[in-house]
């Protein structure tokens, strides 16, 4: 066994001595062709909006087009699978949301292990979710909604951007902490749910704030609360869900970039550096990213892995306690 380990070490060092310089050279030239950002949800939601803002900036900065491809379905797992199956060369990148930390607990027969089969690249941002209802629903506060749901047991539904997303589990956490019953109605992205929410075909959505804020500002949706521990500067008059009558309630969303496992570290570091440059550009903050909506979390790949693990642990408990099953 010791001999086998020694052989593995020798082979590993030999591989590094031969291929590491090649990877470094590849990173210096990277990119030499267009890059694909895979977003696991339909166009129009917060994931899609953020991915396109970043893709536009990177296209200009890198001198190669960065194209966003939407591959919605299965709570983002279809998009994740397509990236995992792609060559590990830095030209196919997954735009990750909380669902990718959640899926391992939710789906027992996934064709991949997300942590094993991906390489962390860079954290992007953290943002709040917002509890929104149709204006026609006779509720104006979180407490009103809880009373309405209890009075209409079995008749209230909550929409989500897909099974296992933070939008979904924000609703499940709300159910668990209030003792109300709601029927889950998953969509292939929150943008697909909003038209049905406006017409009260579904009754509530815990959406990522950027995806719903304009509908709130124009009166097409009513905001009952934000899901963070403190109020959002973007909507300072909207209380937190905890203030509204659910003490201790908290749920945040976050985004990051992951590549297929085996992507050379110099390429990963190159992309990571570009993400840091993106957030350091004053024009980005001025023209694209409202600091009231987004909290940048760009850091090292190792920090992203640690954050992914902490999120997976938190939501695993919610999934277990609520006996939620993947579809």
Q: Is the pLDDT of residue 36 over 80?
A: yes
Please give the radius of gyration of the chain, using alpha carbons only, rounded to the nearest integer: 21
- Last residue in a domain, options 184, 210, 226: 226
How would you class 4 by CB atoms within 10 Å of its CB: exposed for 0-12, middle for 13-18, buried for 19 or more?
Answer: exposed
The pTM score is 0.77
Range of the domain at 208: 128-226
Tell me the average pLDDT of the chain: 88
Asked whether residue 24 is domain-assigned, the answer is no
Mean pLDDT of 94-108: 86
| Residues 71, 218 within the same domain | no
pLDDT tens, residue by residue, 176-231:
999 999 999 999 888 899 999 999 999 999 998 988 999 999 999 999 999 999 99
Mean pLDDT of 146-161: 96
| Residues 116, 133 within the same domain | no
Q: How many domains does the chain have?
A: 2
Q: Is the pLDDT of residue 19 over 60?
A: no
CATH number of the domain at 184, please.
Answer: 3.40.190.10
Q: Which whole-number Å values give the CA distances from 18 to 5, 12, 29, 90, in the listed order?
A: 20, 10, 18, 20
| Residues 213, 146 within the same domain | yes
| Residues 216, 136 within the same domain | yes
Q: Which has the higher per-residue pLDDT, 219 or 40?
A: 219
Asked whether residue 241 is domain-assigned, the answer is no
Asked whether residue 134 is domain-assigned, the answer is yes
Asked whether residue 77 is domain-assigned, the answer is yes
Asked whether residue 302 is domain-assigned, the answer is yes
Q: Is the pLDDT of residue 273 over 90?
A: yes
Q: What is the pLDDT of residue 157?
A: 98
| Residues 109, 56 within the same domain | yes
């Amino acid at each position: 066994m010791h001999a086998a380990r020694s052989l593995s070490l020798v082979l590993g060092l030999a591989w590094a001595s031969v291929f590491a310089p090649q990877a470094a050279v590849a990173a210096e030239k990277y990119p030499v062709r267009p890059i694909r950002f895979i977003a696991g949800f339909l166009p129009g939601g917060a994931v899609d909006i953020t991915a396109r803002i970043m893709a536009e900036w990177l296209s200009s900065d890198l001198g190669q087009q960065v194209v966003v491809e939407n591959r919605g379905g299965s709570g983002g797992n279809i998009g994740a699978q397509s990236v995992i199956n792609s060559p590990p060369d830095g030209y196919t990148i997954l735009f990750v949301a909380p669902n990718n930390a959640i899926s391992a607990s939710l789906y027992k027969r996934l064709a991949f292990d997300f942590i094993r089969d991906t390489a962390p690249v860079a954290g992007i941002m953290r943002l709040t979710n917002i509890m929104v209802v149709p204006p026609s629903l006779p509720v104006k506060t979180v407490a009103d909604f809880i009373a309405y749901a209890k009075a209409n047991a079995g008749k209230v539904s909550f929409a989500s951007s897909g099974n296992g997303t933070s939008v979904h589990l924000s609703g499940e956490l709300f159910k668990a902490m209030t003792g109300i019953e709601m029927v889950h109605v998953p969509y292939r992205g929150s943008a697909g749910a909003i038209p049905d929410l406006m017409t009260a075909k579904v009754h509530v959505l815990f959406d990522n704030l950027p995806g719903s804020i304009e509908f709130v500002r124009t009166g097409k949706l009513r905001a009952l609360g934000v899901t963070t521990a403190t109020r959002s500067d973007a909507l300072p008059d909207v209380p937190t869900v905890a203030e509204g009558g659910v003490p201790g309630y908290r749920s945040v969303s976050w985004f990051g970039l992951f590549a297929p496992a085996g992507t050379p570290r110099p390429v990963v570091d190159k992309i990571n550096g570009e993400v840091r440059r993106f957030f350091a550009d004053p024009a980005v903050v001025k023209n694209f990213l409202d600091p009231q909506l987004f909290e940048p979390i760009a850091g090292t790949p190792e920090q992203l892995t640690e954050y992914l693990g902490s999120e997976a642990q938190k939501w695993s408990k919610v999934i277990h306690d609520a006996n939620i099953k993947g579809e």
